[in-house]
A and B are shown apart, each in its own frame.
Chain A
Amino acid sequence: MVNFFIFVGIIILILMMVVFYRVLKGPTVMDRLLGVNVIGTKATVLLVVMGVIFERVDMFVDIAIGYGLLNFIASIGAAKYFQHHKVLQPRSQWEEDLTKS
């Protein structure tokens, strides 16, 4: 049974790596933000899976709940940021793009 959950955890981690490519490459900040959000959700699941592996789910569920509650605050903050500054790319970058085209 433990092996099964270790397998589940590895699959989740590999999925995380796939999303991480977007975070790494992401042309705009929005891609990065979404990628980090997905990593956060996967991490919540992984915490519970780890709890099952260690056979102390009651301990790990608390962390997972706290994690889930705080995960989206950063995204709302970033969204508020882009509501005020309506540019996705910093100035130097879009000036570069303009000169290229």
Chain B
Amino acid sequence: MIWQFDILLLTLVVVCGFVSLWIKDLMGAVIVFGAYSFLMCLVWTGMGAVDVAFTEAAVGAGVSTIFFIATVFHTSRTIRYNKWDLSTKFFSSIICILMGFFLMVAIGDFPAWGDALSPVNNNVAKYYLENSMEETKVPNVVTSVLADYRAFDTMFETGVVFVASLVIFTLLLQSDGRKKLMKSAFQKVSFLNVSESLIIRKACGLMVPFMQLFALYVVVHGHYSPGGGFQGGVILGASLILLSMAYDIKKVFARFHMKFMIKSLAVGVLIFAGIGLICLILGGNFLDYSALSKLFPSMGSIKSRYNAMLWVEVGVALTVMSGMFAIYTSLSSNGKFEEGL
């Protein structure tokens, strides 16, 4: 934590937050919000929380801005007020100010950053830091905590991604009957004749393989460096998003079919929960990977925990990748899955 950086970054973050609220043009607000997540990523890095910073860089700066842009694309860009809105605005601003005030008061009760006596540093964290290397042979403690000691949390987080993207997909999906009805009612006229840019096509075509390679590296190398299934999955999803922006969604779906996307969305969670279930059948606790050594006697307890973590990460990456792509395609094409942004 370097105090000079912190002061400058904090001013930027606070100003960014206010500006993104203050701008009336929603497109501008989305872009400023992107800058906000850039800066938050720097704040996490300054605190030394590299994994959190990586997640913020991948999700906040990369994918969520695109989701916002896709949403603004199909809805209105301006905010309209009328008389009733102003009274609700007044009411909600009072609630917000009160909430902010209470949060400010609560800050006083928190222990100082990095305080050795705070409860966070005294109970379980000590155990993880001291025993992670002996028990799992994973140098990056964050990965071993997320995928092994606290795997239950991560499993349900993956479940949340699964449910969220499935809900968005099914809510926006237009059934065939409705599509036909829409087609007969509003004959689609392509008067804009949008020309695709050659530069973007070629540049994206060059970028995508490297992006996917880097994403696979992040997934597999998560035991030793920051990253893991979630971050790698987001980068994989982003590469698909980039491809569908350079060409169109139809073309990407020709390679990566919609049915395959939904299946891999479910398979990822299945891998995670399935490994837990196998552990349960083999006589251990749910997600207690050391029980897997009964199935593969040559691996032993430590090695089986190490390998099971890798498989769990792969499952998370599958779910997150197809989840991000499912959300993007349904938001940007308004549920028609023909042409995107």
Q: Report yes or no: B77 in contact with A70, Cβ–Cβ below 8 A.
A: no
Interface residues of A in 51-87 (CB under 8 A from B): 53-54, 58-60, 62-63, 65-67, 69-71, 73-74, 76-78, 80-81, 83-85
Chain B residue at minimal CB-CB distance from A67: B57
Q: Report yes or no: B225 in contact with A53, Cβ–Cβ below 8 A.
A: no
Q: Report yes or no: B66 in contact with A29, Cβ–Cβ below 8 A.
A: no
Distance in angstroms between the alpha carbons of A31 and B28 in the assembled complex? 10
Q: Report yes or no: B72 in contact with A81, Cβ–Cβ below 8 A.
A: yes
A90 to chain B, nearest CB (A): 4
By a CB distance below 8 angstroms, the chain B residues around A13 are 5, 8-9, 12
* A76: contacting residue among B34, B46, B245, CB under 8 A: B245
Q: Report yes or no: A90 in contact with B8, Cβ–Cβ below 8 A.
A: no
A18 to chain B, nearest CB (A): 11
Distance in angstroms between the alpha carbons of A14 and B8 in the assembled complex? 8
* A39: contacting residue among B25, B38, B62, CB under 8 A: B38
- Of B162-170, B234-242, B256-264, the one with at least 4 CB within 8 A of chain A: B234-242
Q: Report yes or no: B48 in contact with A54, Cβ–Cβ below 8 A.
A: yes
By a CB distance below 8 angstroms, the chain A residues around B53 are 47, 63
Q: Is B172 engaged at the interface, CB distance under 8 Å to the other chain?
A: no
B200 to chain A, nearest CB (A): 6
> Interface centre among B38, B65, B194, B245, by most A CB within 10 Å?
B38
Distance in angstroms between the alpha carbons of A58 and B217 in the assembled complex? 14
Q: Report yes or no: B235 in contact with A69, Cβ–Cβ below 8 A.
A: yes
Q: Is B54 engaged at the interface, CB distance under 8 Å to the other chain?
A: yes
By a CB distance below 8 angstroms, the chain B residues around A23 are 16, 19, 31-32, 35
By a CB distance below 8 angstroms, the chain A residues around B58 are 66, 70
Chain A residue at minimal CB-CB distance from B2: A6
By a CB distance below 8 angstroms, the chain A residues around B26 are 90
Interface residues of B in 3-39 (CB under 8 A from A): 4-5, 8-9, 12, 15-16, 19, 24-28, 31-32, 34-35, 38-39
Q: Report yes or no: B48 in contact with A78, Cβ–Cβ below 8 A.
A: no
Distance in angstroms between the alpha carbons of A25 and B317 in the assembled complex? 39
Distance in angstroms between the alpha carbons of A85 and B77 in the assembled complex? 10
> Interface centre among A10, A13, A65, A73, by most B CB within 10 Å?
A73
By a CB distance below 8 angstroms, the chain B residues around A73 are 62-63, 65-66, 238, 241-242, 245
A35 to chain B, nearest CB (A): 8
B144 to chain A, nearest CB (A): 16
B226 to chain A, nearest CB (A): 6
Closest 10 CB pairs of A and B: A70-B62, A74-B65, A13-B8, A90-B78, A80-B341, A67-B57, A36-B35, A77-B69, A77-B66, A90-B25
A-B contact pairs, 26 of them (CB 8 A): A6-B5, A9-B5, A10-B8, A13-B9, A17-B8, A20-B12, A20-B16, A26-B28, A33-B31, A47-B53, A50-B2, A59-B226, A62-B54, A62-B225, A66-B231, A70-B63, A73-B65, A73-B242, A74-B34, A76-B204, A77-B65, A77-B341, A78-B27, A85-B77, A90-B78, A92-B78
Add 14 more A-B contacts to A23-B35, A39-B35 (CB < 8 A): A10-B4, A10-B8, A13-B9, A23-B31, A39-B38, A40-B38, A47-B45, A53-B2, A63-B57, A65-B214, A67-B57, A70-B58, A73-B63, A90-B26
